[in-house]
Amino acid sequence: MVFSSILFIFRFLPVALILYFLTPKKYKNFTLLILSLVFYSWGEIKYIFIMFASIFVDYFASLGIEKYRGKKKATILFLCISVCFNLGMLFFFKYFNFFIDNINSIFDLALNHVKVTLPLGISFYTFQTMSYTIDVFRGNVKAEKNIINFGAFVCLFPQLIAGPIVKYTDINKELVERTVDKNQIQEGVELFIVGLGRKVLIANNIGMLWTEVEALGFMCISTPLAWLGIIAFGLQIYFDFSGYSLMAIGLGKMLGFNFPTNFNHPYIARSMSEFWRRWHITLGSWFREYVYIPLGGNRVSSGRIMLNLFIVWFLTGFWHGASYNFIMWGLFFFILISIEKLGFIKILNEHKIISHVYVILFLIIGWALFAVTDLARLKELMTIMFNFNGGTDWIYYLRNYGVTLVLAIVFSTPLIENLYKKVVRNKNINAIIMILIFIVAVAYLVDSTYNPFLYFRF
């Protein structure tokens, strides 16, 4: 079940909100836990055991850490149980067959694949629960003794499938004591509608351009169309993921939670370092706090900093998928950010136009690496992009998608958002606009069969 579906909007969500608000305050987390388990198991109930396992393992591991706080070996043992379990589950479901393929290729073997599908949201909730036990181990937070509260944190349906990656320290106080007023509900509804509009009206429409270009075959298109297709993909994945994140944050507010911001107009960045402070903010924060800083961060020699960056970006790429293109994508950004740290950032800071052109150009190349998992097809795409192949096919697609492309580019900047805040000050006008966005988005969902969510595969 996804947020941008008729099933969720008109069936699950109304029932969930009614049950939640009718539930006495003392039992709201229990209701939230049950609703979240129903939400998760709706599409694949066979993997509900993973959710229960995540709850019980990390719950008891954190209690063990708390109980044996004065015994270092015991606390390390409980931490290792949690980390090994979470990474083990992630490895088995997401990466096992990838390593089987590589072992078969290197040693000329014929080991069989394990027939499993990737559980929804496993890349997100394993990081969340793992960060919890790490924070308990560090002494940043007390272990949660109420298993219902902890289960609600792990399964919280607004951010369960695709983030934002909400750490326990972000909402631990709200798990115990939270209030929801009319203004917060209104803000949550508005965020949900804006996110739905981004996902359905912009991401889905511009995404069809990339889907059509990909279907043509990269060796059959012109160079301008190849670039046009990748630009469309970059806009699709931004509005797809940022829209879904906004819906999640809005749902959280309706329930009394304040989730962290996940996107902040990344395409206006003037360096790759700034881009990654604006894109998928909660993932970048997670790697910085639990990988980069423990490795030494910036407090070490320049050579060690490069090694730390390499590790973080290798893991960032590999986190996105068990495929070499994602590793290449991560290392691509490692190279660019390393160059910036070696002094190029000073040049970028001094030249506004050059910095923007640099970011957009290399982001397009990066999205090409990200979009195509098959390395042979990726090579074809790169060949077409950089060995000029003329043609007029791009004119047809620009004519069909030109308006959508321009709107997507404009909406990816703060321009419309800032203008809206200045012009629309009347609450009634704002309500009418929100209703119109909602109606048009729902009409699109009813009429269209094209409604992918790109981050489901991660």
Q: Which residues are catalytic?
A: 320
Closest CA to 29 of 248, 168, 176: 176
Within 8 A by CB and 6+ apart from 218, the residues are 226, 377, 380, 381, 383, 384
- CB-based contacts of 101-107 (< 8 A; 24+ apart in sequence): none
User: What proportions of the chain, in percent to the nearest 5, are helix, strand and coil?
Assistant: 80, 0, 20
> Cα 196 to the chain's mean position, in Å?
16
Q: How far apart are CA 453 and CA 141, in angstroms?
A: 34
Q: How far apart are CA 279 and CA 269, in angstroms?
A: 10
Closest CA to 444 of 202, 159, 234: 202
Terminal CA-to-CA distance of the chain, rounded, Å?
A: 16
> Cα 330 to the chain's mean position, in Å?
15
Contact at 8 Å (CB) between 146 and 62? no
Closest CA to 253 of 155, 137, 156: 156
> Cα 10 to the chain's mean position, in Å?
25
* DSSP letters spanning 269-336: -SSHHHHHHHSSHHHHHHHIIIIITTTTTTSS-HHHHHHHHHHHHHHHHHHH-SSHHHHHHHHHHHHH
* DSSP letters spanning 54-73: HHHHHHHHHHHHHHTTT-HH
Contact at 8 Å (CB) between 273 and 302? no
Q: How far apart are CA 31 and CA 152, in angstroms?
A: 9
